[in-house]
């Protein structure tokens, strides 16, 4: 059974139907997806959720994906970025960058979000 908690990250953006004012059916969890946004064989309520720690990591990743699309990370091609509080704290190998960011910010290493800047 999926956990019945509100998974919505603090800065989650409502889905298109929510923006249009459609309420979710009573008794469903907030999945962020509508029936129309899913393949027909998937139920919008049948989801597994990440832990509170990983919700914080994902909030950092959401920011990182946006920055990447805007070109803000173009200087870091082929590097791993270690991110805490929407700040790139370290760059380089994944392990070293994660430890360096954790040491600088005082958070545990698993709270640091790692982001890879692909591209060419």
Partner 1 sequence: MAVIRIPVVNEPRQNPIRYFDETGQLHELPLLRLRADILIGTDPARSAEDRRPQFPAILDTGAPLSVFPKRVWQRFEPAITRLRVADERPLAGSAGGRRFTYFLGRVSVAVTDLFGRRLRAVPVLAQFREDDIPEGEPRAAVPLGLGDGILEGRALTRWPTVERYDPDISTLESHGQWWWLADP
Which of 3, 28, 85, 86 touches partner 1 (CB under 8 A)?
Answer: 3
Q: What are the phi and psi torsion angles at 16 (to 5°)?
A: -55, -45
In angstroms, give the least distance from the CB of 26 to partner 1: 21
* Residue 105 in contact with partner 1, rule: CB under 8 A: no
Instruction: Say how far apart CA 72 and CA 88 lie, in whole Å.
Output: 11
Between 80 and 89, whose beta carbon lies closer to partner 1? 80
d(CA 67, CA 100): 21
Tell me how far apart the alpha carbons of residues 56 and 113 are, in angstroms, rounded to a whole number.
Answer: 9
Q: According to the binding rule CB under 8 A, does residue 94 interact with partner 1? A: yes
Binding mask 50-69 for partner 1 (x = CB under 8 A): xxxxxx-xx--xx--xx-xx
């Amino acid at each position: 059974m999926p956990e019945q908690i509100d998974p919505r990250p603090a800065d989650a953006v409502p889905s298109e139907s929510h923006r249009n004012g459609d309420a979710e059916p009573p008794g469903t969890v907030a999945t962020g997806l509508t029936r129309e946004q899913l393949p027909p064989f998937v139920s919008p309520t049948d989801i597994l959720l990440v832990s509170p720690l990983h919700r914080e990591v994902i909030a950092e990743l959401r920011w990182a994906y946006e920055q990447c699309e805007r070109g803000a990370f173009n200087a870091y091609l082929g590097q791993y970025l270690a991110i805490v509080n929407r700040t790139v704290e370290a760059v380089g190998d994944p392990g070293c960058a994660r430890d360096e960011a954790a040491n600088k910010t005082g958070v545990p290493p698993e709270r640091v979000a790692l982001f890879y800047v692909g591209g060419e």
